[in-house]
Chain A
Amino acid sequence: MKYLDEYRDHRIARALAAEIVQRTTRPWVLMEICGGQTHTIMRYGIDELLPRGIELVHGPGCPVCVTPLETVDKAIALALRPDVILVSYGDMLRVPGSGSDLFRAKAQGADVRIAYSPTEAVKIARANPNRKVVFLAIGFETTAPANAMAAWQARREGLTNFCMLVSHVLVPPAIRALMVSQTNRVQGFIAPGHVCTVVGCKEYENLVRDFRIPIVVGGFEPVDILEAVLMLVRQLEAGEARLENQYVRSVSYEGNLPAQQIMAEVFEVADQKWRGIGPIPQSGLRLRGEYAAFDADRVFDLGEMTVDEPAECISAQVLQGLKKPTDCPAFGMRCTPENPLGAPMVSSEGACAAYYRYRRHKVAS
């Protein structure tokens, strides 16, 4: 496929890897933010192509993984109500809540439906005027415009039976939280290419400036990741700290303005809890006051609750790049994609799922 196959060309990949080897004179710790990038790295063995001195640490860029446990529990509670149709992105269905998950709720008779796009959730509401449709609207900035459109459309049409259980997270505050943490070892970031396709690169300038750290906006194919690593290494070796864009075929400095507009119209920035990491101020989005009638938290008066994670799951440390999935004693044994202890093992962008899929043979030996 055009614009995909070329970025999987092994000759180019080897050339980039060779150049990285040549340029690396000191050890460097780099973090790729997005779970999709983690999967590419694991799948194509990019970490193994890099010189030993370069360590790739996996970031919290998995929206399913960082959706708060409380939100999952709320979704399950709502789904079990006979008057509710709970609509969700497929990936959320097997995420463990504190006692159950949406898939199990469905098996118990809850009306849980998978949507590929938020517009499908609105369609379901139109088609079922006597039921309350709750859409589990999660994601990073990449998904926010689409989720915003659903709320905007529902409001424009005056739907009275549609609302969203929102759990949106923003990347830059998370990078900030990681950088100020005592345990941080990251010296350069590969920024998430599709988040930046929407919001542009400007937010990352502040991070580069405040922390004097190189950031390269990267794509998702093996050539993209390798090129982004090379760009970071070049900067680090030269003592530079700049923002660069590797993913030029999709990302512009300004980003996607119509998408940003709808986000600003429907959402506002709010404090947000990240599963595994904890609360990060001003790191999430919530529906604006005008959309209160479409906010599941307000419509159902769900209130606040705090739930603890099962003790065995180390997803908190995996999401912050402090431990690798294979460091977990439960990995591949008590915790598998079919029976996950935590979210990163069940999400298609989760680091644990990536390791399970592509590195299990290593653990066995």
Chain B
Amino acid sequence: MRAGRVQFGGIVRQVSLDFVPEAVLGDYVMVHVGFAISRVDADEAERTYKLLEEMGVLEAELPPAEP
């Protein structure tokens, strides 16, 4: 049983890493009832976030739309 210390904001809890054997120190994981269920793919997250951010920056420069 592989466990690790995971930081949730200011709190550190013991979490099972049994389902994320590839997780290493410094990784971000999604935790549910004390078990990590996925490891955040930093590159994928970065890539998709950049697209969203561009959208946000562009939108901020335009006048507000009417719903």
Contacts and interface: CB of A to CB of B under 8 A. Distances in A.
B59 A6 contact: no
B55 interface: yes
Given A11-B57, A22-B65, A256 B49 contact: no
Contacts of A258: 18-21
Contacts of B62: 18
A186 interface: no
Interface residues of B, number: 34
Interface residue range, chain A: 35 or more
A119 B59 CA distance: 47
Given A2-B28, A3-B40, A256-B38, A11 B45 contact: no
Contact of A145 (B37, B45, B48): B37
A223 B52 contact: yes
Nearest to A246: B48
B33 A89 contact: yes
A50 B49 CA distance: 22
Contacts of A227: 52
A156 to B, nearest CB: 10
B37 A21 contact: no
Contacts of B32: 142-143, 146, 194
Contact of B30 (A17, A18, A50, A250): A250
Interface string A7-32: 00101101111110110000000000
Interface in A221-276: 223, 227, 248-252, 256, 258-259, 262
B56 A11 contact: yes
A12 B53 CA distance: 6
Main secondary structure of the interface of A (DSSP, over half): helix
Contact of A146 (B35, B48, B58): B35
Contact of B59 (A14, A50, A89, A117): A14
Interface in B33-67: 33-35, 37-38, 40-41, 44-45, 48-49, 52-53, 55-60, 62, 64-67
A49 B59 CA distance: 15
B14 to A, nearest CB: 9
Contacts of B30: 194, 197, 250
A117 B55 CA distance: 39
A49 B67 CA distance: 8
Nearest to B32: A142
B66 to A, nearest CB: 8
Interface of B: 1, 9, 16, 18-21, 28, 30, 32-35, 37-38, 40-41, 44-45, 48-49, 52-53, 55-60, 62, 64-67
Q: Which 6 A-B pairs have the closest CB atoms?
A: A117-B34, A15-B59, A12-B56, A11-B56, A249-B45, A15-B55
26 contacts: A1-B9, A6-B49, A6-B53, A9-B56, A11-B56, A11-B60, A12-B59, A14-B59, A15-B55, A15-B60, A16-B52, A18-B65, A21-B66, A52-B67, A117-B33, A139-B33, A145-B35, A146-B32, A146-B34, A149-B35, A194-B37, A249-B45, A256-B20, A258-B18, A258-B19, A258-B20
Interface of A: 1-3, 6, 9, 11-12, 14-19, 21-22, 49-52, 89, 116-120, 139, 142-143, 145-146, 149, 153, 194, 197-198, 223, 227, 248-252, 256, 258-259, 262
